[in-house]
Amino acid sequence: MAAEVPGKSQESAKKDGLAARLARDVTGDVLFDAFSRGRYATDASFYQIMPYGVVVPRTMDEALRALAIARDDGLKVTPRGGGTSQCGQTVNDGLVVDLSKHLNRILSLDVEGRTCVVEPGIVLDDLNRQLKKHGLWFPVDVSTASRATIGGMASNNSCGGRSLRYGTMRDNTLSMEAALADGTLSRFGEVSRDLSDLDANDGARALFRDMLDLGAREADEIAARFPKVQRRVGGYNIDALVPRNARNNMAHLLVGSEGTLAFTTKVELKLWPVIRNKALGICHFGSFYEAMDAAQHLVKLKPIAVELVDRTMLALGRDIAMFRPIISAAIKGDPDAVLMVEFAEEDQADNFVRLKQLGELMGDLGFGWNNDKRKWGGVVEITEPALQGGIADFRAAGLNVMMSMKQEGKPVSFVEDCAVPLPHLADYTARLNEVFAKHGTSGTMYAHASEGCLHVRPVLNLKLEKDVRAMRAIAEEAFELVREYKGSHSGEHGDGLVRSEFHATMFGERLVADFRKVKQRFDPDGVLNPGKIVDAPRMDDRSLFRFKPEYRVAELKTKLDWSAYPGAGGGFQGAVEMCNNNGACRKLEGGVMCPSYRATRNEKDVTRGRANTLRLAISGQLGAGALSSDEMMETLKLCVSCKACRHECPVGVDMAKMKIEVLAARAASHGLTLRDRLVGYLPRYAGLASRFAPLANLRNSSPLLRKLFERFAGISARRALPAFRSDVFAPPIEAVGPETGREVVLFADTFNRIYERENLEAALRVLAAGGYRVHLPKPASGSRPLCCGRTFLSAGLVDEAKSELDRLVAAFAPFAARGIPIVGLEPSCLLTLRDELASLRRDDDAKAVGAHALTFEEFLVREAEAGRLQLPLGTVADKALVHGHCHQKSFGAFKPVEQVLRLIPSLKVEAIESSCCGMAGAFGYGAGTYDASIEMAELSLLPAVRRADQNTLIVADGTSCRHQIHDGAEREALHVARVLAMSLDRAKTQSTTTPLAKETSHG
């Protein structure tokens, strides 16, 4: 026996030995530390089970070697994709094998035959992006399509919103290749019942024979007990084994098996032509019951989907910035519920006919806009593709929208996707609401009305024993209703830990015994994801919950205002706990979130992973001092504070703000590094550096100094720092422009003031030419210019940042009190006044300054639309390629950039579909973050800039963005103010001039 390592337990030594063995055989990540394991302890359910370890294999051979090593060590193995399961399918205490990072390729594609073979880790949206150029798509369009992997979808038998036309995952899976727990690799596909088409030496032949015999033996019981609804994904699909015809598809037994029978290595999929034309009818109802009753009639028009959104979801959506305009455009009046009826015929004229028929049908059912509440309603027709897309995004975000409640109680998934026959849907939902009320709660409802499958979530606080007891009682009573209506207790999201326990009452003991036989035959030692489908724990076993009985968060001191949330730290706990693990931050394209994950695809580097780590840290599950530990700093290392999560996370997890709290805790406990001081205190020493600019800039020209800066200050030798200049922006007067002009304040931020004064001068020219009296306020005392404190926040120096903001508010508040706009050029600085300022000061002066803060482009568009701005603009170029700053996108301030540029005559404006540029203030200068910075930029920004011809203007408002573009693509990017100033100059030499106010409609 090996000697035990001093100071280590036998279990710890065993774990180290297994990790070392895996590391020798696997080139991918082997993660056995507490922080990493904690990030894989949860999925989108309310469960949390700490895994023994995590492997992220680079190849499928490595994945299968990990399986073999774990089996030899007596460990369970749980394969994992996006980790978005609602029922706890992807959590276990063994080895988690994450297939999403590397095993995500299309292995083959038959365009003519409309099939493809993929690795299980490929994300649905990524697959469909690659298929789209061939006119094909995979239509099991789950709401989590931006992060759900095909392997996970197959494991759960996912359905999607359009299963009315396309069917479920099972209907679209042609074959699978998978390894059994003992390592045997087999193809599961269509076979003849006599297995004559299999080689006599095929290792799967005996297994298939046993399964087909079971299907024949149990055919009558299956026919009697399996629910007769399409949305049935509970238990094992042993109905695929019954002798209906001469052939059976053995892959359909693996579909929905939740990783408990075999380890999937390949999936062959059936593909469909892309939908080319769509029309959407939003059916409004004054009564939820009437909406549910109408669903059975609406499906007769053969739509591809009928999706429900209830009053609660509409109300929550109106409070979310990204969805507010969509709801305003699509919703009329104050409906109790709406049914979104989607048609997708090849000929758009046919879709319009269906819309007309839909309106007529609603009338035939007795609904009208002038009727009383019970029969109030009608159809709003949506034919504009962009609005259709926005509505689809809102519906897809339904889960997260529901979870955006900031209270302790949240809508909980456990009876969420029960399915009943459509004629019973109205009565079922009415009786279910009575069950909720009986137990002191209410529920939210949305989703697939066309299938009788609603996402129903009662609001409960699972930290409270009484609410856990209520959950248990609601589950039992709800499932009893489902059985009464001959429905399925698991209609879309599978079984996992939530529903497996209830199979005996749903299917009967005989079929559950058959399920056990299947599991035993496939996996006799119980290696593969045990505890799901068969031999499950009680669903209300609190030892398996995310919030276990002993879960506590000790009081902690925080620097920012978190009062909108409950819990310790003035609400910091509640803000952290908002993350429901649904994984919207794992999307790979569209929007900005999460740029570091897009570059690394590591769970550590996604907003969800960071939020989980914070929750575990503040609740003591990662040991003392975890919040300010080195491991926490590593967790947040690649967070670029882009604020995209603040805008794009449907539950509003603001990791940039949370990072400030962590950095403040770190500074308090560990002090500041030299790099922290150089970055944070920049506004304080910038004046001195400018007076000795040649000396201050020596580092850029000296290889030795670059190396010393890298070693002692952590600043990459591969970057040139922005050059200080002696001619900083320091106007001698406090106002320019006509004395009788409308007033505006120009905020001269630190970065433009000391590095690029041309931008501020250009802005002054533009504003003065527009007839404005531009104020340049100075601090009430002292000569040091005003600053927003942004650099101090980035170093966790919150008190110093507040000191700077106090000076700024004192100077700007008198103007704000008179209603004068405060305009800034640097998005991160100006928008600090709309964001962090409110977290540091709640007084009227601070609120007024924040309310009057506008980006340069927001101000110009507002003034132009009001008819108050006239500018003579001339042609400057044929095309402008524009990169939006992260904070502009987060605060909805990017569209005005495009609007303003489109006012320049003959200028074609194209926005780069980019996430964060990767520079993110000081992030891109860090020795430890330089590579990640470049990776982020190379995802889309730099390739787009390189493709642009030399006559195309490159436009970027962010100082960091311009530097990244210069360093990475050797192109000069201009601030919008500079482009407008150029346009003013050209107008003097061109005969064509354009008044800006008359052109805003083009935006």
DSSP string, 449-474: GGGTEEEEEEEE-TTSHHHHHHHHHH
Output 769 or 2, whichever has higher pLDDT.
769
152 within 8 A of 99, measured Cβ to Cβ: no
The whole-number pLDDT of residue 997 equals 41
Beta strands in 271-399 (DSSP E): 272-273, 279-285, 305-310, 337-343, 377-382
Beta strands in 905-990 (DSSP E): 908-911, 953-956, 973-974
Query: What gap in Å lies between CA 276 and CA 165, rounded to an integer?
Result: 15
Radius of gyration of the chain (CA): 30
What are the counts of helices (DSSP H) followed by strands (DSSP E) for the chain?
45, 29
pLDDT confidence tier of residue 231, bands split at 50, 70 and 90? confident
From residue 326, alpha-carbon distances to 352, 397, 727 in Å are 21, 13, 48
Strand partners, 679: none
828 within 8 A of 887, measured Cβ to Cβ: yes
Tokens of residue 421, six digits: 């026959």
Tell me the CB-side half-sphere exposure of residue 973, using CA atoms within 13 A.
30
The whole-number pLDDT of residue 745 equals 98
Of 521, 527, 526, 524, nearest to 68 (Cα)?
527
Virtual torsion, Cα 282, 283, 287, 288, nearest 10 deg: -70
pLDDT confidence tier of residue 647, bands split at 50, 70 and 90? confident
The whole-number pLDDT of residue 392 equals 85
Q: Is the pLDDT of residue 166 over 50?
A: yes
The whole-number pLDDT of residue 993 equals 45
Q: Report pLDDT digits (tens) over 349-405.
A: 999 999 999 999 999 999 999 999 999 999 999 999 999 989 888 877 776 676 667
132 within 8 A of 589, measured Cβ to Cβ: no
pLDDT confidence tier of residue 780, bands split at 50, 70 and 90? confident
Enter the pTM of the model. Answer: 0.92
9 within 8 A of 26, measured Cβ to Cβ: no
Going 690 to 691 to 696 to 700, the CA torsion angle's sign is: positive
User: Given phi > 0 = left and psi -120 to 50 = alpha, else beta, which region is 944?
Assistant: alpha
Query: What gap in Å lies between CA 220 and CA 226, rounded to an integer?
Result: 10
- Name the maximum alpha-carbon separation found in the chain: 96
Q: Is the pLDDT of residue 998 over 50?
A: no
Output 821 or 453, whichever has higher pLDDT.
821
Query: What gap in Å lies between CA 542 and CA 800, rounded to an integer?
Result: 44
Query: What gap in Å lies between CA 127 and CA 177, rounded to an integer?
Result: 18
Give the number of residues written for the chain: 1003
The whole-number pLDDT of residue 200 equals 79
Of 392, 387, 421, 443, nearest to 161 (Cα)?
392
The whole-number pLDDT of residue 7 equals 53
Of 896, 890, 831, nearest to 862 (Cα)?
896
User: Given phi > 0 = left and psi -120 to 50 = alpha, else beta, which region is 7?
Assistant: left
Query: What gap in Å lies between CA 854 and CA 823, rounded to an integer?
Result: 5
Q: Is the pLDDT of residue 3 over 80?
A: no
Going 358 to 363 to 369 to 374, the CA torsion angle's sign is: negative
Q: What angle do CA 953, 954, 955 make, to 5 degrees?
A: 110
From residue 878, alpha-carbon distances to 905, 953, 997 in Å are 9, 8, 21
The whole-number pLDDT of residue 482 equals 93
Q: What is the DSSP letter of 822?
A: E
Q: Report pLDDT digits (tens) over 583-611.
A: 999 999 988 999 999 999 999 999 999 99
Query: What gap in Å lies between CA 393 and CA 388, rounded to an integer?
Result: 9
**Which of 6-20, 198-212, 214-228, 780-794 is predicted least confidently?**
6-20
**Which of 11-15, 507-511, 637-641, 815-819 is predicted least confidently?**
11-15
Query: In one letter, which amino acid is 878?
Result: D
Match 């605060």 to its residue by tokens. Answer: 891
33 within 8 A of 4, measured Cβ to Cβ: no
pLDDT confidence tier of residue 1001, bands split at 50, 70 and 90? very low
Question: Three-state SS for 854?
Answer: strand
The whole-number pLDDT of residue 875 equals 95
- Cβ-count burial of 163 within 10 angstroms (0-12 exposed, 13-18 middle, 19+ buried)? buried
166 within 8 A of 136, measured Cβ to Cβ: no
Q: Report pLDDT digits (tens) over 288-326.
A: 999 999 999 999 999 998 989 989 889 888 887 778 899
Q: What φ, ψ does residue 745 adopt, rounded to 5°?
A: -100, 135
Strand partners, 457: 444
Taking residues 688-699, what's their average pLDDT? 96
Q: Report pLDDT digits (tens) over 620-641.
A: 999 999 999 999 999 999 999 9
Taking residues 922-931, what's their average pLDDT? 96
Q: Report pLDDT digits (tens) over 478-515.
A: 999 999 999 999 888 899 999 999 999 999 999 999 99
- Cβ-count burial of 733 within 10 angstroms (0-12 exposed, 13-18 middle, 19+ buried)? exposed
Query: What gap in Å lies between CA 284 and CA 358, rounded to an integer?
Result: 12
The whole-number pLDDT of residue 491 equals 83
Mean pLDDT of the chain, nearest integer: 93
The whole-number pLDDT of residue 991 equals 53
Per cent of the chain over pLDDT 90 is 86
Tokens of residue 208, six digits: 């298939």
Query: In one letter, which amino acid is 619?
Result: S
The whole-number pLDDT of residue 2 equals 40
The whole-number pLDDT of residue 1000 equals 38
Query: What gap in Å lies between CA 845 and CA 825, rounded to an integer?
Result: 22
Per cent of the chain over pLDDT 70 is 97
Buried residues in 569-606 as b, exposed as e (16+ CB within 10 A): bbbbbbbbbbbbbbbbbbbbeebbbbbbbbbbbbbbbb
**Which residues, 6 or more positions from 513, have their beta carbon under 8 angstroms from its beta carbon?**
none
The whole-number pLDDT of residue 319 equals 82
The whole-number pLDDT of residue 932 equals 96
**Which residues, 6 or more positions from 508, have their beta carbon under 8 angstroms from its beta carbon?**
221, 225
Buried residues in 643-673 as b, exposed as e (16+ CB within 10 A): bbbbbbbbbbbbbbbbbbbbbbbbbeeeebe
Of 438, 104, 446, nearest to 295 (Cα)?
446
14 within 8 A of 69, measured Cβ to Cβ: no
**Which residues, 6 or more positions from 996, have their beta carbon under 8 angstroms from its beta carbon?**
770, 860, 864, 869, 870, 871, 873, 903
Query: What gap in Å lies between CA 37 and CA 609, rounded to an integer?
Result: 11
Query: What gap in Å lies between CA 50 and CA 32, rounded to an integer?
Result: 11
DSSP letter string, 627-665: GGSHHHHHHHTT-----HHHHHSTT---HHHHHHHHHHH
The whole-number pLDDT of residue 162 equals 87
Neighbours of 368 (CB within 10 A): 12
The whole-number pLDDT of residue 400 equals 64
Virtual torsion, Cα 802, 804, 809, 810, nearest 10 deg: 120
Q: Report pLDDT digits (tens) over 104-140.
A: 999 999 999 999 999 999 999 999 999 999 999 999 9
Tokens of residue 850, six digits: 């924040």
Of 410, 387, 391, nearest to 314 (Cα)?
391
Tokens of residue 122, six digits: 């490929």
Q: Lay out the sheet containing 973-974: strands in order across.
A: 908-911, 879-883, 953-956, 973-974
The whole-number pLDDT of residue 403 equals 66
